[in-house]
Amino acid sequence: MRKRFNDTGVCIAERHFMADTSEKMAQLIELVEDGAYFTISRPRQYGKTTSIHSLFIALNQRPDYLAIQISLEGIGDAIFENEAVFCHHFIDELAYRLEKTHPSYAEFLQEQVGKTNSLKQLSRTITRFVDHCSEKVVLLVDEIDKSSNNQLFLSFLGMLRDKYLDANRNLHSSFQSVILAGVHDIKSLKLKIAPGAEGKLNSPWNIAIDFNIDMRFNPREIEAMLIDYTKARNVEMDTALVAEKIYYYTAGYPYLVSKICKVADEDLDQNGEPTNWHPNLIDLAFRYLVDEGYTTTLFDDLVKNLENNSDLYQLVFDISFNGKTPAFNVLDPVINLGVLYGILDQKEGRCHIHNRIFEQKIYAYILSKQNRKADLLVGVSPSRFFNHGQLDLQAVLSGFQQFMKENYAQKDSKFLEREGRLLFLSYLKPIINGRGFDFKEPSIAEERRMDVVVTYNNQRNVVELKRWEGEAYHQKGLAQLSDYLDSYSLTQGFLLIFDFRKNKTYKTETISFQGKKIFAVWV
């Protein structure tokens, strides 16, 4: 079977190009050997199911372990009707998973079904089963969020907690390790229980250790996947360089790593033949993914989660459009929710959007959402901003300055600070729409500034958006823009300054700075 990059379901080493997760797997096995109970709580499509499956295979290749993997996906609500129904279904599911590999164990479990009608009896059945097995038994439960807004499920976890504590006191036997996997951890699951039920929770999973294994793919792990690809397709590639570019766009988000590779391999026009990969091909794959007409279930969820959480939307808006980088603190429920959904991450102790693909999707989504408002519809004629087929960004900035002077001179400073950058991007969008491409590079270290990179044909322009904070800050901003221009090997840049002083002046200035020509506009 021809190997492919996989973007749906579990990844199988024999069928899919996979990152090298051997170090992560060694860490997981070490936790199991230590008898740890834990939850792999990560965002959607973050490699949880693949990790659970890989751990299941690795453990069952060892003669001293018996791993049983079940999933709550599609299990339905009937199983939670009462304790007896739950216990019968749970034991029957364990037996079913062992029918082919361990038929005698499956038969033993089937004999226990009719004798197990309560969680107390289930506890004793688990003890008898573990004692019956010659191996250490590990239970892996995937998709715990699917049915875990039910008190009976949390009571089941409480029973496992009690068994863990009793086993450590040598009172009876229990599972060597229990691993749960889902988007939510047990703390956030508790929040989903109906009001008034909090007293019944009693910390059902407080014996679980903190799960701190980094599930993102680093460039070295990505490179292993690319090396496998070059051998299978007989193509040439600077695998280290391409891996770095993939990481640059994805920040190691597992699904996005596979997806951008899949696009590069299958969706870009390569005449139906494998081609030698280079970083520019990954640039094209990024452009393909962030196109406003392209979507996936993950991107749909990204928008849905922002639409359903107004506080999270506002935080993401401020990060994306106003250059704010609040301190990263997961005790803040809004920040914690953003991390839970994979939208937010931290760098140098500050909040930022997890990866550049999400960043661009959010950017396009908010622009589209805001442009539906009548006061943000600009109605610009694009032709006046092109000169001999090239985008004249100086004319764009001058046009925006005039637009702001005519339409927003009387707006209060709070409105302009909140909406100013959005107004510029809304003004820019119809000018380059369908012709060029713009993406933003937010500053991590400095608040209230961001860089917008505008490409058109082979032309690339960098515009820094910042607020006026005085001459010293202005000089610092020029130095930052100069450094950024160096990273693109450019000698010309653009500076759009939002001045919120009452006595501000609408002016333009061409500045020579460190060998760069910078066209600055005040609005």
Long-range contacts of 128-133 (CB under 8 A, 24+ apart): 129/94, 129/105, 130/173, 130/174, 130/175, 131/173, 132/105, 132/108, 133/66, 133/105
Q: What is the pLDDT of residue 372?
A: 66
Tokens representing 212?
């701190």
pLDDT of 250 over the 70 cut? yes
pLDDT, one tens digit per residue, over 3-30 is 999 998 899 999 999 999 999 999 999 9
pLDDT of 200 over the 90 cut? no
pLDDT, one tens digit per residue, over 252-271 is 999 999 999 999 999 886 66
Residue 402's identity, in one-letter code, is Q
Work out the pLDDT band at 477, boundaries 50, 70, 90: confident
Beta bridge partners of 456: 436, 459
pLDDT of 87 over the 50 cut? yes
Give the C-alpha separation, 437 to 423, whole Å: 17
Tokens representing 35?
């008898």
Strand 177-182 with 38-41, pairing: parallel
Biggest distance spanned by C-alpha atoms of the chain: 85
Work out the pLDDT band at 494, boundaries 50, 70, 90: very high
The pTM of this model reads 0.86
Tokens representing 353?
């959007």
Q: What is the pLDDT of residue 417?
A: 73
pLDDT of 413 over the 80 cut? no
Q: Structural domains in the chain?
A: 22-200 (3.40.50.300), 219-290 (1.10.8), 377-523 (no CATH)
pLDDT of 294 over the 80 cut? yes
Find where tokens 């039920």 sit: 197
Q: What is the pLDDT of residue 441?
A: 59
CB atoms within 10 A of CB 440: 21
Beta bridge partners of 177: 138
| E-assigned strand segments in 200-323 | none
Q: What is the pLDDT of residue 315?
A: 96
pLDDT of 54 over the 70 cut? yes
Residues 6+ apart with CB under 8 A from 414: none
Tokens representing 224?
């292993």
The full 3-state SS of 480-523, as one line of letters, equals HHHHHHHHCCCCEEEEEEECCCCCCCCCEEEEEECCEEEEEEEC
pLDDT of 60 over the 60 cut? yes
Helix/strand/coil percent split, the chain, to 5: 50, 15, 35
Task: Reduce the DSSP state of residue 244 to 3 states and report it.
Answer: helix
* For the chain, percent of residues with pLDDT exceeding 90: 60
DSSP 8-state code for residue 79: G
Using the Cα atoms of residue 306, residue 311, residue 314 and residue 316 in order, give the sign of their dihedral.
Answer: negative
Q: What is the pLDDT of residue 199?
A: 40
Tokens representing 140?
């892996």
pLDDT of 149 over the 70 cut? no
Give the C-alpha separation, 468 to 489, whole Å: 26
Residues 6+ apart with CB under 8 A from 406: none
Give the C-alpha separation, 292 to 368, whole Å: 10
Backbone angles phi, psi at 102, to 5 degrees: -140, 70
**Helix pair 103-112, 83-98: axis angle to 10 deg:** 170
pLDDT, one tens digit per residue, over 424-472 is 888 888 888 756 666 665 544 444 456 788 888 778 889 988 888 889 9
Find where tokens 């090997």 sit: 489
Give the C-alpha separation, 112 to 138, whole Å: 19
What mean pLDDT comes out for the span 327-353? 93
Q: How many residues does the chain have?
A: 523
Residues 78 and 85 sit within 8 Å (Cβ to Cβ)? yes
- Is the model more confident about 374 or about 160? 160
Out of 116-120, 267-271, 357-361, 511-515, pick the least confident. 267-271
Q: What is the pLDDT of residue 493?
A: 94
**Helix pair 151-168, 83-98: axis angle to 10 deg:** 70
